[in-house]
Structure 1
Amino acid sequence: MFLEKIKHIKAFILDVDGVLTDGTVLVTETGEQHRRFSIKDGYALQLAVKRGYQVIVLSGGRSKGIELRLKGLGISEVYLGLDSKVETYHNFLKNSGCSTEQVLYMGDDIPDLQVIKLAGLAVCPADAVEEIKSICDYISPKKGGDGCVRDVIEKVLKIQGNWFDESPSAHDGSLN
């Protein structure tokens, strides 16, 4: 069933903290918040964008660093400071032309619970909370911020014949 669902995916909708990061927020004395992203996840994300998949990021967080990192990978649909991920999900479906069956959602915690139930393919990292794990079609063996996004995107692109890149980019989306 999981492999059959993968064949239809055209969009990846991802949470940030606990999925694209390990969920740790380092706060400096000046109040700046720092998160750690995986370069391997970044490669898969930019390749998915390059291959024409829609990549959408939803988060309750508001850090400018999140937006800069994701925009650097070519992701233009980054929604931060959300109170309702469900509303943004429905707006995406309405405006994108994608059907529910074409959407993969990856989340890890209670704020993802309602929206992950709506996706055609529900996935989570290995360290997601039990309430999320119990409703997912696939649980990555990788933890949040440690390659779980790469794991999922790679599976989709490989099954759909879109993984290998004859001229891979070494650009990692960083500002330097």
Structure 2
Amino acid sequence: MNDLLRRARAVKLAIFDVDGVLTDGRLYFLEDGSEFKTFNTLDGHGIKMLINSGVQTAIISGRKTPVVERRANNLGIQHLFQGREDKLVVLDGLLAELGLSYEQVAYLGDDLPDLPVIRRVGLGMAVASADSFVRQHAHGVTQARGGDGAAREFCELIMRAQGTLDAAQAAYL
């Protein structure tokens, strides 16, 4: 069995970074100081399918913005942590709260602040557009770039490994 599928089989919690993962990494600031981001609907539906398959989800982001809170709520993401640079500390607290182990966690990131978590969890992946050093140290790299289907690919990998993807897709036939 493929190593990524083997790792994904144990996942009970999938965690996403935001900038560069759920978005293309660009930051848009308006004159009034507000910010906007663009999200991919394919990624969003993948996250919804993953949640419906029984996997919990979380966002851990170094930046804090109301747009991310709105997106997380819209998708039904259960755990949201913003403005948190030390993502490993957040992960440890969340695992203690949920009673999970590192092996039961999948993480999708793109840059150096994500690397400690990517290296610690059972399935640590990078998006295709991630920093090269991060890609080198991840268990796997998506074919899609951040903000362009990488999260969907990540979700479907987990669901394929757990045997829930076919049923989720068949519901639309």
**Correspondence for 2:111:** 109
SS in 2 for 1:128: coil
Q: Which has the higher helix share?
A: 2
Alignment partners' CA distance in 1, 2:85 and 2:62: 6
CA shift for structure 1 position 167: 4.4
Measure how far apart 1:109 and its partner are. Answer: 0.4
Task: Name the structure 2 match of 1:70.
Answer: 72
The Cα shift of 1:159 comes to 2.2
Deviation at 1:51, TM superposition (A): 1.8
2:110/2:126 contact within 8 Å kept: yes
Match of 2:57 among 55, 58, 77: 55
Quick one: distance in 1 between partners of 2:42 and 2:100?
A: 27
Within 2, Cα distance between the matches of 1:111 and 1:100? 18
Note the residue ranges of structure 1 that are not aligned, 5 or more in a row: 169-176
Count, aligned residues: 168
Partner SS for 2:120: coil
1:30 aligned partner, one-letter code: D
Specify the alignment match of 2:32 in structure 1.
30
Q: Does 1:80 align with 2:82?
A: yes
Aligned to 1:161: 163
Match of 1:119 among 118, 121, 130: 121
Cα-Cα RMSD: 1.2
Aligned residue type for 2:59: V
1:7-54 per-position Cα deviation (integer Å, ceiling 9, x unaligned): 111110110000010001111111111111110000011111122211
**Which residue is 1:171 aligned to?**
none
CA deviations 1:54-106 (Å, max 9, x no partner) are 10100011110111011111112110011311111001111112211111111
- SS of the residue 1:134 aligns to: helix
Structure 1: 4+ residue segments shifted above 3 A: none
